[in-house]
Structure 1
Amino acid sequence: MKAGTNMKISGKTVCMFVLLTITVMRSAGNYKVSVTVGDSSVLPCPNNSNIITMLTWKISPKVGGPCSLGYRADTNMTDRTNCSDSMNWKFRPDLSPDLEIQQVGIAQEGNYTCEVVTPDGNFHGTYHLTVLVPPRLSLYCDEHGNAVCEAAAGKPPAQVSWLLQSNSSLEDKSHDNGTVTVLSRLAACNTSVTDTTCMVFHPAGNWTESIACCSSGKKKYILCVSITICLLSIMIFMVLIYYTKLHSNRLCHKTKPPETDPIQNDTTEVEPYTTYVQKENVIYNSVSDLTVGQNLSQELWPET
């Protein structure tokens, strides 16, 4: 009877110890931590005692294998398994069990669990580390004069909206590193509003930018029309010049006098001289005939 009573007491003691241990172990709880990529982060290790017997950090990142950092007070030894140099104790494990992560990257996102063994009990805490990547904001006008707001490579995806505008479309594009590009296009311009404002909301920050696409689109349209008219005018002018030149060549070709034989030209040039010589000969012959006639008449006359 007494033995049974002692067994019951021992059982109750063990149960109470287990429950107390579970209570102490769960007192730390789970935490969620968000860090912007490139920044440093310090994860405190829950500890209600100034004396640390053993300390262990267990890291399970989403990318790559697990790693661990350990410390034993009785040997004053630290152990590092598969952890990068960017992860280390904040100071020294015997002074502070906190873990420091320098220049946090996307690959370091995951779960970080700290386990501490002290004379007062065991403590542990788990952190779920989320890495925030702020998007690259880009606001521009497309070839149709519509406003395009792009939040590129953000994590988590950014929320994009327009101020005082509702007629817009949304596109998402996921990348291999876990980031997402969100693109919003304002389908039509509102002629009553000169500027359109894009608003980007993200856990790493919020941004707003404005742009006037409608007016710039009209200016581009007018410029394009002006250039087209100038090019057409130049082409028409060149065609007219070519046509005029071609027509004039045809007229010149039609009115050109026929070519004559050089011998005939020489004969034509000689004819005036020949006519002149003939006329002189005729005159000379007439004078000679008259002179001869006079001489004959004088000879026939009787002497007185």
Structure 2
Amino acid sequence: MAQTRAVLAAFLFLLINLVEGPAYNMVNVEAGHEAVLSCPDVPKMPLLMVTWKTKCSACCLLAYRSDSNETRKLNCSERMMWKYSPDSNPALRIYPVNVGDEGNYSCEIVNGAGNFLLFSSLTVIVPPTVTLTCDKTRVAACQASAGKPAADISWIPANNHSTEEEVHHPNGTVTRVSYISWVDSTLPTVTCLVTHPATNQTLSLDLSCTSPRLPYLLIGGCASVAAVSGVTLCLIFRCRAFRLRKLTRGSAVPFATKNFRSIPSRNKTEAANPPVLSESIYQNYNPRMIYMNY
């Protein structure tokens, strides 16, 4: 009786698949995350074989046979493997997933009730890199780089005079840029809103940074700093030169010998013009007792 019910259930399941066609599964995963693709639900009967395939020129084949307990892997990345045990739940795991993994996958299960097939379509989402800049003419540019799909860009406050550009990259990502001019606006800030399936970002920019006075202030400040620095350096070198000259003059003649005797001046003329020291002054000259000012 139990066998009859199992056969009837398998027959009904097979009939539904024939009428409705193969099941189809949509999977969306962000790049760098884990993608798990499921196999079809089958009647509770012993598994004979399960096979994963990808539709491409060099197809990936991942198969398991329960009778020989054998696993076969052909042209598959190391990032692709069973999520669980293939004989209990043969889901496919891809980690980390990238744009190159995008495509269609099929899981086929064979058991005593027949062959069961499930198709999965994997879509990889790539969050964009968002930047907001402004030039001196007060034209703001909001850029969402290398996103998949392309991001939507809007402005706060809303403006109908914005223009957009798109660049499509070979890997399927898209860079979108929105430009808007705020020349006639007195708004102090502008806000860019980027909407994407993987992320929503809001960036604000201070429009005062584009004021033409700022470069002149920067130039004036730099000139002032340079002038002060130049005067300071001049004073330092001048003082050093004066000190060196003074030291040089003071050390030109040796002094302070041990038995140094001075000759008193006889008159004012001699005092004003001291005579040249005679050799007798240095009669007790000792080189070790001479000191020089350096």
What interval of TM-score do these two structures reach, taking the shorter chain for normalisation?
A: 0.5 to 0.7
Asked if residue 96 in structure 1 is aligned to residue 89 in structure 2, the reply is yes
Residues 53-95 of structure 1, C-alpha deviation per residue, up to 9 Å, x if partnerless? Answer: 111111125xx62111111111111111100110011122112
The answer on whether the counterparts of 2:138 and 2:181 sit within 8 Å (CA) in structure 1 is: no
- Normalised by the length of structure 1, the TM-score is 0.63
Amino acid at match of 1:57: W
- Secondary structure of 2:133's counterpart equals strand
Amino acid at match of 1:118: N
The answer on whether the counterparts of 1:47 and 1:116 sit within 8 Å (CA) in structure 2 is: no
Asked if residue 200 in structure 1 is aligned to residue 194 in structure 2, the reply is yes
Distance 1:117 1:22 in 2: 16
Unaligned regions of 5+ residues in structure 1, if any? 1-16, 231-304
1:298 — aligned with what? none
Distance 2:182 2:205 in 1: 14
Aligned residues: percent identity?
Answer: 38
1:71 — aligned with what? 64
1:186 — aligned with what? 180
2:203 — aligned with what? 209
Please report how far the alpha carbon of residue 134 of structure 1 lies from its aligned counterpart in structure 2 after TM superposition. 0.3
- Secondary structure of 1:107's counterpart equals helix
Distance 1:229 1:98 in 2: 68
2:214 — aligned with what? 223
Q: CA distance change for structure 1 residues 164 and 138 in 2, over 3 Å: closer, same or farther?
A: same
Q: How large is the RMSD of aligned CA atoms in angstroms?
A: 2.6
Distance 2:184 2:96 in 1: 45
Distance 1:201 1:189 in 2: 26
- Secondary structure of 2:47's counterpart equals coil
Please report how far the alpha carbon of residue 109 of structure 1 lies from its aligned counterpart in structure 2 after TM superposition. 0.3
The equivalent position to 1:118 in structure 2, one of 111, 121, 126, is 111
Amino acid at match of 1:140: T
Paired residues for 1:1-304 under 5 Å: 21=14, 23-24=16-17, 26=20, 29-50=23-44, 51-60=46-55, 65-166=58-159, 167-189=161-183, 191-213=185-207, 215-218=208-211, 221-224=212-215
Bigger proportion of residues as helix: 1
The answer on whether the counterparts of 1:27 and 1:123 sit within 8 Å (CA) in structure 2 is: no
Residues 254-277 of structure 1, C-alpha deviation per residue, up to 9 Å, x if partnerless? Answer: xxxxxxxxxxxxxxxxxxxxxxxx
1:260 — aligned with what? none
Distance 1:104 1:20 in 2: 33
- Secondary structure of 1:178's counterpart equals coil
Larger mean Cα displacement after TM superposition, 88-97 or 45-54: 45-54
Distance 1:53 1:226 in 2: 80
The answer on whether the counterparts of 2:11 and 2:113 sit within 8 Å (CA) in structure 1 is: no
Amino acid at match of 1:204: A
- Secondary structure of 1:183's counterpart equals strand
Q: CA distance change for structure 1 residues 19 and 94 in 2, over 3 Å: closer, same or farther?
A: closer
Larger radius of gyration: 1
Amino acid at match of 2:213: I
Please report how far the alpha carbon of residue 19 of structure 1 lies from its aligned counterpart in structure 2 after TM superposition. 9.7
Distance 1:176 1:148 in 2: 24
Please report how far the alpha carbon of residue 212 of structure 1 lies from its aligned counterpart in structure 2 after TM superposition. 1.8
- Normalised by the length of structure 2, the TM-score is 0.65
Q: CA distance change for structure 1 residues 68 and 34 in 2, over 3 Å: closer, same or farther?
A: same
Distance 1:99 1:229 in 2: 66
Residues 230-266 of structure 1, C-alpha deviation per residue, up to 9 Å, x if partnerless? Answer: 9xxxxxxxxxxxxxxxxxxxxxxxxxxxxxxxxxxxx
Distance 2:31 2:218 in 1: 48
The answer on whether the counterparts of 1:28 and 1:46 sit within 8 Å (CA) in structure 2 is: no
Distance 2:122 2:80 in 1: 13
Distance 2:22 2:80 in 1: 22
Q: Which runs of 4+ in 1 moved over 4 A?
A: 17-20, 25-28, 225-230
Please report how far the alpha carbon of residue 189 of structure 1 lies from its aligned counterpart in structure 2 after TM superposition. 4.0
| Count of residue pairs brought into register by the alignment | 210
1:236 — aligned with what? none
The answer on whether the counterparts of 1:67 and 1:82 sit within 8 Å (CA) in structure 2 is: yes
Please report how far the alpha carbon of residue 43 of structure 1 lies from its aligned counterpart in structure 2 after TM superposition. 1.0
